[in-house]
Structure 1
Amino acid sequence: MTKETLTIAICGDKGVGKSSLVLSLAKGRFLSNLQDVIPAVTIPRDFSSNPYSARRTILVDTSEAEPEKLQMELRNADVIWLVYCDRESYERVSLHWMMMFRSMGLNIPVVLCKNKCDEYPGGDVYSNSVALDDTKIEDEEFIPILMEFKEVDTCVKTSAKNQFNVNQAFYLCQRSITNPIAPLFDSRIGELKPLAVNALERIFLLSDKDQDNYLNDAEMMALQKKCFNKSIDVAELSFIKKILSDISLNPHEFINTPLYVPDRGLTLDGFLMLNRIYTEKGRHETTWDLLRAFHYTDSLCINDKVLYPKLNVPDTSSVELSPKGYRFLVELFRRFDKNNDGGLNEEELQFLFRRTPGLPYLWTATNFPFSTVVNNRGFITLQGWLAQWSMTTFLDYKITTAYLIYFGYEDDVKEVLHVTKARKMRRRKGRLYRSPVSDRKVFNCFVVGKPNSGKSSLLESFLGRVFAESYCPTIRPKIAVNSLELKGGKQYYLILQEFGEQESAILENKEKLSECDVVCLTYDSSDPESFSHLVELLDKYRYLRDLPLVFVALKADLDKQQQRCSIQPDVFTDSLFLDHPLHISSTWAASLNELFIKITEAALVPGESTPGFPPEERTSDTDYRQTAVILGSAVGFISLLTFTMVKLLKPAKFGR
């Protein structure tokens, strides 16, 4: 909880000893002849040795003689300390007080306290649960109320006169707030609740470092150290093993289910059973310590501040993975590649994502894993895995931070990110254009053009795959992301996006265009109606001329057609002071390589590909361009060679 001050409202019939309990707690001694209602008492956060007093606590005494004030205090309270002392006040607990709380719609825990137990020899505490061990003596007064009212968290007997259990009752009130049992345990059926089970299952999976489905001694000790900052006692560990190994002590549903296997460790069922025992025996703070060490809130969700840390990202900056982030993802891939075949199959992916809400929507919406590099069996490779996360971080870094926490990243998750410098602008003859880029490794390219111009085929070729000859129109957006290793060992990631029916909406969205590094304008060189579509786009969306543009003539292996347009491609690009369109074919490996280099070059040196600037005005950018590393392969020499040989053996029309 984030609340700094907790409020406890102490209520009950007149004469049950409410004021005496408050002053006995505050003063450490019994005081007689008190006024009916005493002022609120503040208990400091370091009161005594209370393990739950991490926050300041206010004790508010109440009186039924002032009903309006009573209701106000109850509504402001975090927990109710309900006191009775005799048969008459006991009966009013269920007939009056609990009914009043429900009629007010209060949804806060109640600690039931039987006061004036001056002759009581021992101090048993009763939780709203059914105990497994035989050492707890169930009180006939408490059980009916515990069974009927789930709001009652704990019951305790006290004596303000003898200072018996007064501190304990206060501790239980605080614990019911800081470590509530309600989210963990369903007292009606005597089982952990589903959300608690899901959270504990994830903790088990993260703690099972060798992934053998058992928590061995070393893993148990590591978990203990992480959650409690101390080593587990050997005797306690042996006791846990004994309890879980003794079938006679286990509930009926676990008789045929191993909870602990000698020389292997705790099973998942054993881990869940252990936490069930903790909650049933009133030690649910132990389970909460486990949960909070893994950033769970009282609602059993991972804290949003951990999943989505605040990051200062200027409007023209991008977010990329840092070297630490890449190392973590490489280690994760290798750990879950069980058969060491260099690819994550469907089963391995499912096991990896068991600790998360499932695949990110961004992935499922863009046909993962076929949005990146897969092997010949369709399994994502390490190259594709890193490319996919590079794309995810660039498009929505919050997905990356959240999933790395789900995967068990334990340090400050902001360390896995690198925020690039804000994009700078230069001015030339009254026009602004983007400055050369020096610190970015991930670039975003929008692939735009008339339907059936070959855009989807271009994306498939970028991933080293042979595109099907049959034409299938693109409806939903598509993404292809791959790495480019350039001369000198410098590596970049290039994202190609095709938008299908959403293309017009994207081009009208200037915020989306600000995320674009290069626009790749494609047309079918064998279709005489294709190029006019690009001319119309640039006339309709004039602001596209402020971005780096690369023109591409696809299906160049087919017969070139004169374009039925007011201006031919070469003349049009000359008028924009841009390079002529590259002629690309899936049968020409070198042409594909040249295109991906040119797109990367346009992203690195935007001024060279921004329309409207004659070459003689580009000297400074040209010098930068000459020093930039722009040679390399988009998909690697071997994949391109294989791709070319397949096409030579069976000629196919590009983009068909």
Structure 2
Amino acid sequence: MTTLLEPKTTLAYLAYLGYPGRVGDRLLTERKGDCRSGGVGDRGGDAATADTASALKIVKAKKVERRRGKKTVARNVFQCYVFGAAGSGKTAFLRSFVRKKFSDAYAPTVRPYSVVNTVEIQGCEKHLVLREFGSRFEAEVLASRRKLEQCDLLCFVYDSSDVNSFAYVTNLRVGLLCGPLHRFCTLHGVFAALCLPWLLKICSRLTTLSMQKQYDLDHLPNVFLATKSDLDLVQQVSPAKICDRKRYEEQPDVYCRLLGLAVPTSVSAKDGQMADIFNILTDIAMHP
């Protein structure tokens, strides 16, 4: 995982451990008083002067694979970004992937958190890296072309026992400015009801402007995940209709079908009921 996320750190480790190669005109295997640390043209060290990056496997950029229309990705390492509202169970989901014990104590994610594990697909071993960034930084990641080029699929997590959780991820996916309106309506019900027409008009205009600059997400596989299936299932609330408490006109299953996506997979990290979700994510990443 370190090699995938921080390749320079891996190269530094290799240099420290004495892996043969060069940094500029200096051998990485250079030792104090070692005769092999001679000049660049020292033939005695030719076998040890290979590029250090030869220790790493360099793969083609994901956009090149997509441009060529490949139906199956030949890589062995895949990266999945996990998004969702605070308290939706993202961290518990990641911890279950590396078989860490479930904890009822809630601790907000204040910095990026990543886990990696192996997944067996059709007898072949693949590595899946799951990353979450915390609710405060998710919009920034989705708006970053460079960040999105590094991942293979997006996983949107919502709490199936929280009426507002699904609205958060749908707004996050299609309009980055709807999240603050959602929170405002929740906190200031009566006042927001009076101001709602103006707020919706302003939000619609700002969202339209932001969408012109927003990086398109449709080129990446999208997966919806319903967490906390051990709790009672509730109907979801539309953020635009929170004030009058009407239910979301399109529930998660219908919403996903309209987008041509698979219906949300229900999981419970607490009960260990993961519905083989990690194999599903890896298979989708292999066949985008």
User: Is TM-score (shorter-chain normalized) higher than 0.5?
Assistant: yes
Answering whether residue 141 of structure 2 is matched by residue 509 of structure 1, we say no
Match among 49, 60, 64 for residue 421 of structure 1 = 60
Work out the CA distance in 1 between the residues paired with 2:286 and 2:275.
17
Work out the CA distance in 2 between the residues paired with 1:485 and 1:598.
11
User: Structure 1 residues 433, 453: CA separation in 2 closer, same or farther (over 3 Å shift)?
Assistant: farther
Identity %: 39
Corresponding position of 1:409 = 19
One-letter identity of the residue aligned with 1:394: L
Match among 515, 518, 523 for residue 158 of structure 2 = 523
Answering whether residue 222 of structure 2 is matched by residue 549 of structure 1, we say yes
Corresponding position of 1:474 = 109
Match among 79, 84, 88 for residue 453 of structure 1 = 88
Corresponding position of 1:498 = 132
Structure 2 contact 114–129 (Cα < 8 Å) conserved: yes
Work out the CA distance in 1 between the residues paired with 2:78 and 2:271.
24
Match among 228, 233, 242 for residue 560 of structure 1 = 233
Q: Deviations over 1:221-242 (max 9, x none)?
A: xxxxxxxxxxxxxxxxxxxxxx
Corresponding position of 1:110 = none
User: Structure 1 residues 547, 564: CA separation in 2 closer, same or farther (over 3 Å shift)?
Assistant: same
Corresponding position of 1:576 = 259
Work out the CA distance in 2 between the residues paired with 1:577 and 1:450.
23
Larger relative CO (CA 8 A, sep 6+): 1 or 2? 2
- Matches for 1:141-290 after TM superposition, within 5 Å: none
Work out the CA distance in 2 between the residues paired with 1:433 and 1:416.
27
Structure 2 contact 121–283 (Cα < 8 Å) conserved: no
Structure 2 contact 267–275 (Cα < 8 Å) conserved: no
Structure 2 contact 83–132 (Cα < 8 Å) conserved: yes
**Greater mean alpha carbon deviation, residues 593-602 or residues 478-487:** 478-487
Work out the CA distance in 2 between the residues paired with 1:584 and 1:536.
22
Q: SS of the residue aligned with 1:561?
A: coil
Work out the CA distance in 1 between the residues paired with 2:68 and 2:162.
33
- Computed over aligned residues only, the root mean square deviation of the Cα atoms, in angstroms, reads 2.0
Structure 2 contact 88–159 (Cα < 8 Å) conserved: yes
Work out the CA distance in 1 between the residues paired with 2:167 and 2:233.
15
Work out the CA distance in 2 between the residues paired with 1:455 and 1:433.
33
Q: SS of the residue aligned with 1:404?
A: helix
Match among 269, 275, 278 for residue 596 of structure 1 = 278
Structure 2 contact 265–275 (Cα < 8 Å) conserved: no
Q: SS of the residue aligned with 2:88?
A: coil
Q: SS of the residue aligned with 1:546?
A: coil
The TM-score, its normalising length taken from structure 2, stands at 0.68
User: Structure 1 residues 420, 433: CA separation in 2 closer, same or farther (over 3 Å shift)?
Assistant: closer
| Structure 2 stretches lacking a partner, 5+ long | 21-47, 177-210, 239-247
Q: Deviations over 1:48-91 (max 9, x none)?
A: xxxxxxxxxxxxxxxxxxxxxxxxxxxxxxxxxxxxxxxxxxxx
Q: SS of the residue aligned with 1:597?
A: helix
Q: Deviations over 1:317-371 (max 9, x none)?
A: xxxxxxxxxxxxxxxxxxxxxxxxxxxxxxxxxxxxxxxxxxxxxxxxxxxxxxx
Match among 94, 98, 122 for residue 463 of structure 1 = 98
User: Structure 1 residues 474, 422: CA separation in 2 closer, same or farther (over 3 Å shift)?
Assistant: closer
| CA shift for structure 1 position 592 | 2.0
Aligned residues: 209
Q: Deviations over 1:176-224 (max 9, x none)?
A: xxxxxxxxxxxxxxxxxxxxxxxxxxxxxxxxxxxxxxxxxxxxxxxxx
| Structure 1 stretches lacking a partner, 5+ long | 1-390, 427-431, 607-656
Q: Deviations over 1:231-277 (max 9, x none)?
A: xxxxxxxxxxxxxxxxxxxxxxxxxxxxxxxxxxxxxxxxxxxxxxx
Q: Deviations over 1:109-129 (max 9, x none)?
A: xxxxxxxxxxxxxxxxxxxxx
Higher-Rg structure is 1
| CA shift for structure 1 position 495 | 0.9
| CA shift for structure 1 position 467 | 2.3
Structure 2 contact 79–150 (Cα < 8 Å) conserved: yes
Answering whether residue 7 of structure 2 is matched by residue 397 of structure 1, we say yes
One-letter identity of the residue aligned with 1:535: T
Q: Deviations over 1:534-571 (max 9, x none)?
A: 11112216612221111100000100001112321001
Work out the CA distance in 1 between the residues paired with 2:16 and 2:263.
48
Structure 2 contact 65–73 (Cα < 8 Å) conserved: no
| CA shift for structure 1 position 455 | 0.1
Q: SS of the residue aligned with 2:262?
A: coil
Q: SS of the residue aligned with 1:497?
A: strand
User: Structure 1 residues 394, 588: CA separation in 2 closer, same or farther (over 3 Å shift)?
Assistant: same
One-letter identity of the residue aligned with 1:563: Q
Moved over 4 A (4+): none
